[in-house]
């Protein structure tokens, strides 16, 4: 959809971004509207952000056994994540080494071999070509010289990240160490077990969802059917330190039992952390709501300046799952899924409204609430990776 911002030159949008990032938080204004619509900036993001940064593709427990795989999309690149025989994880471009047909179309599964549907070229879990029918007719063809294109992957706190970069600037385990040591490590997210994985497409810019997720100012107004029931006063929210790699805010709920509180058999958390909620974003696009009794995560990808794909999942600690019998599991899972879908529906109209409203060339100046510091931190991140 074209509007007053669509054809703005890249230099103009980068100048607006740098100006916004240079403001101290007390006088900061919302992310420049043009960044959600300008086609030149959208194309620049694909290279500066999604072709260089680490993107969450899922959770390690989703691929527990050798041959288990997940597929994901990073910008325009299809990704294949595979558990290896030695227990490690490897990632590849999900495209056959022959003429680049998408190799595995299913979102997840398990296979001893990966065979292309087009010409039956077959690969092992390490990405090596095993068989290429009829290619003996090509003089000098050697299967050992053809393989899937490998990608860097890394695990952190149960999440798996992949980057398209040839030489990654950092590694999640290193760049996110302060977040683990100071805040989320005590939850031991790696022990949480994934119970669902879904996806959704919204008519908004990917940054609109990141903005929405990284502030809880809207929760009492928008999430009356879901998260607002935890009754966390706005003045109790604490925004975390500035970082080049992440942002977060946290708050405790009044009740020390029930939804949002630690199970009696949770021996990892102590004191107020037994009823603590942490919302964090691993830049650029990995969003997590972390609580003692579950976590909900979203990995956002642009599908144009006005459309986004969000893959989301829920994981639950083992002590919570232990209370759910086999007979009740399906109904419990279905009810949990409905809860998250209601929360998503509560957000959807507002996130799309952010995109719709920011299409105007005539807007107020805008401002931030004190607990919206994470949005300013996200703007500073964008300026660091896009405007350099």
With a cut of 90, say whether residue 281 has pLDDT above it: yes
The model carries a pTM of 0.96
Give me the mean pLDDT over the 103-126 stretch. 96
Burial of 134 (0-12, 13-18, 19+ CB in 10 A): exposed
With a cut of 80, say whether residue 319 has pLDDT above it: yes
Angle between helix 326-357 and helix 206-213 axes, rounded to 10 deg:
110
| Distances, alpha carbon 49 to alpha carbons 208, 294, 348, in Å | 16, 29, 24
CA-to-CA distance for 53 and 49, rounded, in angstroms? 6
Burial of 376 (0-12, 13-18, 19+ CB in 10 A): buried
| Distances, alpha carbon 249 to alpha carbons 183, 242, 275, in Å | 10, 11, 14
With a cut of 70, say whether residue 377 has pLDDT above it: yes
Half-sphere exposure of 280 (CA within 13 A, CB side): 24
pLDDT of residue 1: 64
pLDDT of residue 45: 96
With a cut of 90, say whether residue 255 has pLDDT above it: no
| DSSP state letter for 136 | G
Give me the mean pLDDT over the 171-186 stretch. 97
Count of Cβ atoms closer than 10 Å to residue 41 Cβ? 25
With a cut of 70, say whether residue 321 has pLDDT above it: yes
pLDDT-derived band at 387 (thresholds 50, 70, 90) equals confident
Per-residue burial over 140-161, b if 16 or more Cβ lie within 10 Å, else e, is eeebeebbbeebbbbebbbbbb
CA-to-CA distance for 114 and 103, rounded, in angstroms? 7
Reduced to 3 states (helix: H, G, I; strand: E, B; else coil), residue 262 is coil
pLDDT of residue 49: 97
Place of tokens 């708050």: 251
pLDDT of residue 59: 98
Q: What is the pLDDT of residues 28-57, one digit of tens each?
A: 999 999 999 999 999 999 999 999 999 999
Percent of the chain with pLDDT over 70: 99
Q: What is the pLDDT of residues 49-101, one digit of tens each?
A: 999 999 999 999 999 999 999 999 998 999 999 999 999 999 999 999 999 99
Burial of 24 (0-12, 13-18, 19+ CB in 10 A): exposed
Chain centre to alpha carbon of residue 367: 26
pLDDT of residue 199: 95
pLDDT of residue 272: 96
Q: What is the pLDDT of residues 219-248, one digit of tens each?
A: 999 999 999 888 899 999 999 999 999 999
Is the CB of residue 59 less than 8 Å from the CB of residue 314? no
With a cut of 80, say whether residue 27 has pLDDT above it: yes
pLDDT of residue 206: 98
pLDDT-derived band at 271 (thresholds 50, 70, 90) equals very high
Give me the mean pLDDT over the 274-284 stretch. 98
Q: Which positions ≥6 away from 111 have C-beta within 8 Å? A: 67, 69, 104
Q: Name the residue among 37, 44, 33, 51 with its Cα closest to residue 10.
A: 44
CA-to-CA distance for 155 and 173, rounded, in angstroms? 7
With a cut of 70, say whether residue 345 has pLDDT above it: yes
């Amino acid at each position: 959809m074209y509007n007053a911002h669509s054809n703005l030159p890249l230099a103009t949008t980068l100048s607006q971004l740098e100006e916004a990032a240079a403001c101290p938080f007390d006088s900061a204004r919302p992310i420049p509207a043009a960044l959600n619509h300008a086609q030149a900036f959208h194309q620049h993001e694909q290279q500066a952000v999604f072709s260089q940064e680490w993107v969450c593709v899922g959770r390690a427990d989703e691929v527990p056994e050798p041959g288990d795989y997940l597929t994901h999309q990073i910008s325009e690149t299809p990704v294949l994540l595979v558990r290896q025989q030695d227990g490690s994880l490897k990632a590849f471009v999900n495209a056959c080494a022959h003429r680049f047909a998408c190799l595995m179309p299913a979102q997840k599964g398990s296979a001893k071999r990966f065979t292309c549907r087009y010409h039956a070229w077959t690969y092992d879990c390490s990405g090596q070509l095993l068989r290429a029918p009829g290619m003996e007719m090509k003089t000098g063809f050697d299967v050992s010289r053809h393989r899937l294109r490998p990608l860097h992957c890394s695990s952190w706190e149960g999440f798996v990240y992949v980057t398209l970069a040839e030489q990654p600037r950092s590694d999640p385990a290193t760049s996110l160490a302060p977040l683990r040591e100071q805040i989320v490590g005590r939850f031991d997210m790696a022990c949480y077990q994934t119970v669902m994985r879904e996806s959704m497409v919204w008519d908004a810019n990917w940054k609109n969802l990141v903005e929405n997720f990284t502030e809880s100012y809207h929760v009492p107004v928008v999430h009356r059917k879901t998260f607002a029931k935890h009754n966390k006063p706005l003045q109790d929210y604490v925004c975390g330190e500035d970082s080049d790699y992440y942002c977060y805010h946290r708050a405790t709920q009044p009740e020390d039992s029930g939804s949002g509180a630690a199970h009696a058999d949770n021996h990892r958390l102590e004191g107020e952390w037994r009823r603590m909620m942490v919302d964090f974003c691993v830049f650029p696009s990995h969003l997590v709501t972390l609580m003692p009794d579950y976590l909900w995560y979203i990995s956002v990808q642009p599908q144009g300046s006005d459309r986004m794909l969000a893959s989301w999942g829920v994981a639950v600690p083992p002590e919570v799952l232990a209370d759910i019998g086999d007979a009740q599991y399906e109904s419990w899972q279905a009810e949990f899924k409905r809860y998250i879908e209601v929360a998503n529906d509560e957000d959807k109209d507002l996130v799309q409204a952010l995109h719709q409203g920011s299409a105007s060339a005539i807007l107020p100046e805008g401002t931030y609430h004190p607990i919206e510091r994470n949005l300013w931190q996200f703007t500073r991140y964008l300026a660091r990776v896009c405007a350099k």
